[in-house]
Amino acid sequence: MIAAPIHIVGHRLMLCPSGVLLWPGERLMAVADLHLEKSSHFAARGRLLPPYDTRETLKKLSFVLRRYEPRHLVLLGDSFHDAEGHARLADDDRATLAALLAGLRVTWVLGNHDPAPPASLPGEAMEELALGPMRFRHIGGGPIARHREGEISGHYHPKASLETRAGRISRPCFLAGPQHVVLPAFGALTGGLDVRSPALAPLAHRQGRVFLLGKDRLHSAPVPFVVPESAPERERVDEGWPSFP
């Protein structure tokens, strides 16, 4: 996999096709929206889904941790699909997760799905992590106190589409601007919100870019035109999108 460098408030960050963000200068990895135990949440409500999402997500997490060997892992909220998700972990999955986190500095940024810290797992839980000029939050777009501050967040599960020779592709993506990056959802059982959604308009900076996740590399393009909710349906087109070879 080939990670792509970007610069936020003077600091070099790396965006990985796996969906994680790296801050090499801090040996830090950030990952958003694992939504562990989502299938068991729905099963308890009579909606049966394949019960493999947690195991698949932990398998992905294990791969990127081995590849990049960070010292500090920042989980950007909604790590579990609900406040009791950590209690439903199968014994094997709990042991796997504990082993993955062992020896790391772990920060659990609390999300709207998991507003309480997970019990019996290592790490420190907080609403927001401030590290140098960076603010790590679950939901981005809030006030940034100083011009030289940056923001790393999740929550929105951004996705985007590109035209290719094989037709239109739609993929999870990073949404990056001069002072912020919104990470794609990392979980194996998560949907996505199109970057043209009005909900993302505060973060869709005109100088920003989207980075679609590919198998081995990212596909980058300018942030597309964001259409207001009140716009006529005929205006809801992919205006300004380039074609990809």
Amino acid at 50: P
Radius of gyration of the CA atoms of the chain, in A: 18
Q: Which residues have C-beta within 8 Å of that of residue 14, sequence separation ≥ 6?
A: 3, 4, 5, 6, 21, 22, 23, 24
CB atoms within 10 A of CB 121: 17
Amino acid at 223: V
Would you state the pLDDT for residue 114?
A: 80
Q: State phi, psi for 84 to the nearest 5 degrees.
A: -105, 5
What three-state secondary structure class fits 120? Answer: coil
Nearest to 25 by CA among 9, 16, 13: 13
> What secondary structure letter does DSSP report for 27?
T
Q: Which residues have C-beta within 8 Å of that of residue 47, sequence separation ≥ 6?
A: none
Would you say 163 and 171 are in contact if contact means Cβ atoms under 8 Å apart?
no
CA distances from 35 to 57, 122, 178, 184, 245 (A): 9, 18, 28, 12, 33
Q: What is the pTM of this model?
A: 0.85
Q: How do the pLDDT tens digits run along the chain, 245 residues long?
A: 899 999 999 899 999 999 999 999 999 999 999 989 876 655 566 665 566 789 999 999 999 999 999 999 999 999 987 777 787 888 999 999 999 999 999 999 999 888 888 888 999 999 999 999 999 999 987 665 456 789 999 999 999 987 777 777 789 999 999 899 999 999 987 888 999 888 888 887 777 899 999 888 998 888 875 444 443 332 233 333 332 32
Q: Which residues pair with 75 in a beta bridge?
A: 31, 108
> What secondary structure letter does DSSP report for 172?
E
Torsion angle in degrees (nearest 10) through CA of 141, 145, 148, 152: -30
Pairing status of strand 193-194 against strand 158-164? parallel
CA distances from 6 to 13, 176, 210, 220 (A): 5, 9, 12, 11
